[in-house]
Amino acid sequence: MDIAAFLWDHPRPMRFARLATLMLFVSIAISIRSATGAAAPAGGAEQAADSQISLPPAMGWEDWQVARAQHAPRATVKVFVRRSETPATAKVRVLVAQTPKPTFDSPKAVVDALVQTAAHQCKKADAKTLDKSALDMIFEMRAFGCPGQKGERYLLQRIAFIGDWELQVTYAPMTPTDDLPPAEKAQALKLLSSATITNTGK
């Protein structure tokens, strides 16, 4: 599946519904075959959007490599896997997505929309807030009984409004689980919290 088409070729309300499905299915909308491909070339508006995402290496990003990148005007999505793993066998994928800020008044409104959509598709879906401010929210999402999935799915995600942009950073285990080990969760939170956008458009 083309993640750019999945995220950007639909109106914003539909995009959230599709993004919820994308996240819950944990595949990050990238098949193993396509994940092994090289990053898409960027230029012009695409390059401008991509250059705004900042991932400080001192926060742990040096241990991750880009498995897939998609660009569209004013938007960028990257999928990372650990340097010690291949895209085909990665136990965790981290998705970083930068898109224009939505009309929602807060990240919590975005999360509420994601959970509502997931609840309609799965037998059980909920989110637990770990950290929250007016423009930034980190939460855990769990879902069980989703179409095509076995076991409980777990995602750790951050949604932040930064200037004119929305930043989503998602830590997604590839195998069913209901939580992360404490040490792994602490490192994942450090990773998610460190991502930012340097040119906010303001």
State the Cα–Cα distance between residues 151 and 144, nearest whole angstrom.
6
Q: pLDDT tens, 108-138? A: 888 888 888 888 888 888 899 999 999 999 9
83: left (phi over 0), alpha (psi -120 to 50) or beta: alpha
> Which strand (E) or helix (H) includes residue 171?
strand 165-173
Q: Name the nearest CA neighbour of 108 among 142, 130, 135.
A: 135
Listed in sequence order, the DSSP H helices in 25-71 are 32-35, 45-50
Q: pLDDT tens, 21-78? A: 444 433 333 222 233 333 333 333 344 444 589 999 889 999 999 998 888 777 888 9
pTM value is 0.76
Amino acid at 139: F
Pair 114, 168: CB distance under 8 Å: no
Q: What is the mean pLDDT of residues 151-156?
A: 88
In eight-state DSSP terms, residue 39 is P
Task: Check whether 143 has a pLDDT greater than 50.
Answer: yes
| Residue 6, pLDDT score | 37
| CATH of segment(s) 3-197 | 3.40.1000.10
Listed in sequence order, the DSSP H helices in the chain are 3-8, 12-24, 32-35, 45-50, 107-121, 182-194
pLDDT band at 101 (very low <50, low <70, confident <90, very high): confident
Amino acid at 155: L
Q: pLDDT tens, 175-201? A: 888 899 999 999 999 999 999 998 766
